[in-house]
Amino acid sequence: MSRMIPPETVAALRKFNDISVDNYGIDCTLYVPTNADAIDAIDVYATPADVTYTTYLNQTVLMLWAPNQKMLRKLNIFTEDELPILAFFKNTYKDVAGNDVPLQVIIGSYVVIPFNFVPSTYETAEFEVVDIIIRHAHDATVTLAYKMAPRRVKEA
């Protein structure tokens, strides 16, 4: 790790991200798969029942439903014909003891948000993380953006 950005500055920026997501985000339930490696091993034979999730209640997600190309360029995200749904989570969450613990969101995680916050173009309240977009990373990741898509569950 270089000394271009001091660790104290990175910690302060991460805290600013957490405050912004808390203030402007939507309350949700986050599901993070815990056995992704085992599912990859059986690949096409995996069923939805094979996946186990860790559930994080009372989480907050900041959703950008339809960002325009200018906004995406400011975020260093370059797309061709698509306008992705972007989501931002807090960097940490409080465990049962009240300690700040890093939140590890991976591809395959999904959120369930109240239907009244979902634009009418979507017929579901479940949105899955399909890609992780790292913004402005030099020597320490401050903020992660997640590309979201409406969740589709494979029929067993």
CA distance 27 to 82: 26
Name the more confident of 68 and 64: 64
d(CA 120, CA 98): 37
Q: Residue 115 and residue 25: Cα distance in Å, rounded? A: 14
pLDDT number for residue 138: 60
**Alpha carbon distances (Å) from 58 to 6, 31, 38, 102, 113:** 32, 11, 28, 15, 10
Average pLDDT over residues 93-122: 87
Confidence (pLDDT) at 46: 67
3-state SS class at 51:
coil
**Rounded average pLDDT over 74-100:** 81
Question: Which tens digit of pLDDT belongs to each residue from 109-152?
Answer: 999 999 888 888 888 899 999 988 876 566 677 788 898 999 88
* Per-residue confidence (pLDDT) for residue 43, from 0 to 100: 67
Q: What percent of the chain has pLDDT over 90?
A: 25
